[in-house]
Structure 1
Amino acid sequence: MTACAERPVLEDQPENDQLTRPLAYGYMRVPCDIPDDKVRRMEHELRRCAERQGWYLVTIFSELDCGRHEAFDELTLELQRADAHYVIVPTFRHLARNAVLQNVLLARLEFEAGAEVLELVETS
C-alpha cells in the first residue's frame, strides 16, 4: 500500500470542485520491460494521492526512454503555463537514479516552476 508523503492529508473536500482545486501533475519513468498492470497501479496511486491532497490531477507525464528528459521538460513548461505548483512521483528515483541528478531536477522544478514535489511512500 502506498501513501502521500510530507503533507497533511486534507479531509472533507468536495468531490466535484475541479475548477477550484489546485492543479497537480504526475511524472514517472516507464521502462519498456515494466508490466502494464504495474504502470496502471502507479497511475492509480498518483491519482489517489492527488485526491487525498485536495488537488486535481490534470495528467501524468511519462518518460519512456531511459536517460531522456523530454517528458520532464514538457512537465516543467506545462507547470509554468498552467501556473500549477504540485507534482507527484512514485519515488524520486523516477526523476533520476542518481541522487545528485534528482536534486538538480527537484531544484529545477522549484526554481523554474515554483513546484513542490511529493513522493509516494510505501506503508505497512
Structure 2
Amino acid sequence: MTTVTIAPSTTPEPAVHLLPHRVWHYPIRPQSASAARHNVVAQLHRWSLDHVVDTIILVTSELITNALTASLRGDGDLTSQIAMRLTYSDNHVIVEVWDGGPGHPTRRAGDPDAEDGR
C-alpha cells in the first residue's frame, strides 16, 4: 500500500469572481456620485439590463452619497477613496460600496418626512 501525503499550500489562491462584475474607485468629492451613476448606466446597458436602470441608479446614488458623507465625517483625509462593485447574475444585480470612513454603518429609524435615513 502506498501512502501519499499532500502538504497544504502556503500560497493563497487568487479570488475568483465567476459572475460578471465591474469595480470602480472614486475620490472623496461630490462629483463622484455623478460619475458613479454614469458608470452604472453605461455598464447596465452593456449587459442589456436596461429594464433595471432606474432602480439601480437610485440604489447607487443612495449608497455612494452615504459613502461620501461617511468619508467626509472622518479625519478630513481627502486622499482616501470610495469603491463600488456592480455584479449581476440571472435574477440579481448587486451594488456594493466601500468607504474609508470611521466606524460601521448603523440602522436608524427613518422619519417619513426626513430627507435621509432610509
Pairwise same-fold verdict (TM > 0.5): no
State TM-score, norm by structure 1. Answer: 0.28
Q: Please say which structure displays the higher CA radius of gyration.
A: 2
Structure with greater proportional strand content: 1
Higher relative contact order (CA 8 A, sep 6+): 1
Structure with greater proportional helix content: 1
State TM-score, norm by structure 2. Answer: 0.29
